Chains A and B, each alone.
Chain A
Amino acid sequence: MSSTPEPYSITAPAVMVLQPDAAGTFKVVNSGSKPIQVTGSLGRYNDKSLHYPAASHATLTTFSQPWVTFTPHQFRLQPGQSVTVRISDHVPAGTQGHHYLNVAWLIKPVTTGPTTAGTHLQGAVATSIDIPMPGHAVAVTSHGQPQPPPLPPGQFPVLLVLIPALLLVLAVATAAALAARRARNRHLQRARTS
């Protein structure tokens, strides 16, 4: 690497193993010669995080409810300065296999004055987080709308009995109301003709 640092440069861990329901720290470094504004965000930037995301729901194009949190999200770094990031995860019970997410660190020059014309650039490094668990993960291969989660065991048989019972009660109540109305109408008709 050149002994003279480039103006805009950022260094972060390439990969990091984070145990389930654990926390850790790592450093993000301004490896350039100018100050930078850094913004962190979660994303999926390699094959493993695309197919085995550490998130409660995901397709190949979207994901939600990530299992990973980190702080701080935004900070400014002077040349050579670093910040310690704290990262933690919470994995849903029953999850199996390795799951992945990326923490992307986007840098922008700290500029004063009006923005110059033209196409602008911004760069980032994305740390790949690996959450290891025993078993085999199920790959995300679907596109499209998210599906509701399956019912927990024990509730499906209750609904099988409850829904028909409710329909039966409703039918009986409706029939009784109709019968009462017919009887009232007959009574009124007799009263008019007599």
Chain B
Amino acid sequence: MKGIKLLAAAAVAAAAIGASTAPAWADGGPVTATVAVPSTLTFSFTSATSFTVAPGATSTGAVAFTIVTNNPAGYDVFQSAPDLTAGANSLPATDLSFVLHYHNSNGTDVTPAAQLTNTQARFIHQVTPSMGGGDTYAQDWTAATLPGNTPGGNYSTVITYIAAGNS
């Protein structure tokens, strides 16, 4: 009888210990782990940040940049530039035009050779995240042939590129 009482007491004690220390998985319930991955957007110039092109000529690959994003809705890229100036003289920004090249994961140029003017506001519209290593773009810039009476000088402008995450 005494032995049975001891066994019963031990069983009760073991059950109490078990109830207070048993891990959740012991009950069959799931354990949830959460990893928060922020949505980021990176813009990088992969070319020099200035270029020169003569009138009537084309500077191949004058501008190159890479965009990396994990945003599920993708991104847009805008471009703007004021008129070119050389002292008091100016040329319209549309005297500069470009062909955009986009390289896919195989490195193949998949962009149609469409000439776009410098007034193009949004010229890239992607609705998916970038490739793992980034989406790479390059522009061949062409300067228009100028009239013979155009005042001489180094005409310059600043081209601004803005990559915006889509929501």
Binds B, one of A84-92, A102-110, A141-149, A176-184: A102-110
Once the chains bind, are B52 and A14 in contact (CB under 8 Å)? Answer: no
Q: How far is the CB of A104 from chain B (nearest CB, A)?
A: 6
Binds A, one of B15-23, B73-81, B106-114: B73-81
A interface vs B, CB < 8 Å?
1-2, 5-15, 31-32, 43, 45-48, 100, 102, 104, 106, 109, 116-128, 130
Q: Does B100 contact A (CB under 8 A)?
A: no
Once the chains bind, are A122 and B44 in contact (CB under 8 Å)? Answer: no
- Taking a contact as CB atoms closer than 8 A, the residue among B39, B157, B162 that contacts A119 in the complex is B157
Q: How far is the CA of A29 from the CA of B94 in the complex (A)?
A: 33
Complex interface: chain B residues within 8 A of A126 (CB): 162-165
Q: Does B102 contact A (CB under 8 A)?
A: no
Q: Does B51 contact A (CB under 8 A)?
A: yes
Q: How far is the CB of B162 from chain A (nearest CB, A)?
A: 4
Q: Is the interface of A mostly helix, strand, loop or mixed?
A: strand
CB closest chain-A residue, reference B38: A13
CB closest chain-B residue, reference A103: B164
Q: Is the interface of B mostly helix, strand, loop or mixed?
A: strand
Once the chains bind, are B162 and A118 in contact (CB under 8 Å)? Answer: no
Q: Does B142 contact A (CB under 8 A)?
A: no
Q: Does B41 contact A (CB under 8 A)?
A: yes
Once the chains bind, are A119 and B52 in contact (CB under 8 Å)? Answer: yes
Q: How far is the CA of A13 from the CA of B165 in the complex (A)?
A: 8
CB closest chain-A residue, reference B65: A123
- Taking a contact as CB atoms closer than 8 A, the residue among A104, A119, A122, A125 that contacts B42 in the complex is A125
A-contact bits for B134-154, CB 8 A (1 contact / 0 none)? 100000010000000000001
Complex interface: chain A residues within 8 A of B43 (CB): 9-10, 123-125
Q: Does B66 contact A (CB under 8 A)?
A: yes
Given A14-B71, A14-B165, A119-B159, answer yes or no on A9-B40 (Cβ-Cβ < 8 Å): no
- Taking a contact as CB atoms closer than 8 A, the residue among A43, A121, A125 that contacts B41 in the complex is A125
Once the chains bind, are B154 and A118 in contact (CB under 8 Å)? Answer: yes
Q: Does B34 contact A (CB under 8 A)?
A: no
Once the chains bind, are B134 and A14 in contact (CB under 8 Å)? Answer: no
Complex interface: chain A residues within 8 A of B42 (CB): 1, 9-11, 31, 125
From A48, A109, A123, name the one whose CB has the most chain B CB atoms within 10 angstroms.
A123
Not counting A1-B68, A106-B160, a sample of 13 additional A-B residue pairs whose C-beta atoms are within 8 angstroms of each other reads: A7-B45, A13-B40, A14-B166, A15-B166, A104-B164, A118-B52, A121-B63, A122-B49, A122-B158, A122-B160, A122-B161, A125-B42, A128-B166
Once the chains bind, are B66 and A13 in contact (CB under 8 Å)? Answer: no
Complex interface: chain B residues within 8 A of A12 (CB): 40-41
Q: Does B97 contact A (CB under 8 A)?
A: no
- Taking a contact as CB atoms closer than 8 A, the residue among B53, B154, B159, B167 that contacts A121 in the complex is B159
CB closest chain-B residue, reference A16: B39
Complex interface: chain A residues within 8 A of B41 (CB): 11-14, 125, 127
